[in-house]
Structure 1
Amino acid sequence: MKIKNEKDFFAGLLFLALGTAFSWGATMYPLGTAATMGPGYFPLLVGILMAVLGVLILFKALVIETEGGGRFGAWAWKPVIFVLGGNLVFGLLLAGFPALHVPALGMVVAIYGLTVVSSMAGDEFSLRQSLLLATVLALGCYLVFVLALGMPLPMWPGFLSA
């Protein structure tokens, strides 16, 4: 059987693999019933839907001819590096790195680090826009997680809030 669209084929495989893994992982938790759902019920349904979507995308990639065959282009390394780097910076700033004596700096500083580093992934970088976005995100996280949900998150570095 010939692959008629490479991008859809590999996207379908990804959805199928993730959906299957999600569904299998969800069976480790009590499922319950539709009336009294357990902690594994929703992840199981989402995993099954992802797997079915993957099968449909795979079918389309193998049956429907596309112009150019949906070939992969070159990897966009800059966005990959900066987006992954932004997440790494977020984790390091939020939790700290005790082995290197780096203290946890809290949610606000971590959001600013994540936003600025991840913003460098695009073709155009504006520090002003990144800082504005980080401010909106930090305020939103504070409103949702701390005020609305009452989660005890460290919003500021320990030396500022003590």
Structure 2
Amino acid sequence: MKQSHVLSGLAGLLIGAFALFEAWNYPIGSVTRMGPGYFPIILSVLLMVLSLGVLFIEGRSVDGPDIERPSWRGLVWIVLAVMAFAASVETLGLAPAILAAVILSAQADDDLQLKETLILAASCTVICVVIFIYILGLPLEPIEF
């Protein structure tokens, strides 16, 4: 059995079981009048079924590369980006928070150049400000003064 497929299937099963356990206490409702537990239960069961498929179908294959070591550099930069966004969205505004998060998370990729990073950060910032502030009307400021 392929170690990466087995671990992926088991992780999906555990996450699905945990989600099902947590959602079980919410009222399910009916198809026409869904309760707050309906969608989480459907998703958790679907995740568990797909994870079983990964375990029993893909887990039997023996070809292909096995699990590689995780990229700690990428993980650290992504966590820093999320923390920077959370720390700055209310104090600096949405635009600087997104700029900082995208620039920091881009450091997780070895191949991304500075020009590409700045273009990505600027476009993500504009798109997010338009969607979240002007279209959805979230009570956030683009830039805090």
TM-score, length of structure 1 as denominator length: 0.80
Q: Secondary structure at the match of 2:137?
A: coil
Q: CA RMSD in A?
A: 1.7
Matched, 1:138 2:108: no
> 1:5: which partner in 2?
2
| Equivalence map 1:53-68=2 (5 Å) | 53-62=50-59, 64-67=60-63
Is there any run of 5+ residues in structure 1 with no aligned partner, and where?
96-103
Report how far residue 146 of structure 1 moved: 1.8
Of 102, 110, 118, 1:115 maps to 102
1:25 alignment partner in structure 2:
22
SS in 1 for 2:89: helix
State, as a whole percentage, how many aligned pairs show the same letter.
28
Q: CA deviation at 1:125?
A: 3.3
Give the match for residue 43 of structure 1: 40
Q: Matches of 1:27 and 1:78 in 2, distance apart?
A: 38
Cα deviations by residue, 1:4-36 (Å, 9 ceiling, x for unpaired): 111111111111111112222222332211001
Alignment of 1:72-111 (within 5 A): 72-95=67-90, 104-111=91-98
Query: In the TM superposition, what is the alpha-carbon distance from 1:60 to its structure 2 partner?
Result: 2.5
In the TM superposition, what is the alpha-carbon distance from 1:61 to its structure 2 partner?
Answer: 4.6
**TM norm structure 2:** 0.89
Runs of 4+ in 1 over 3 A off after TM superposition: none
Structure 2 residue ranges without an equivalent (≥5): none
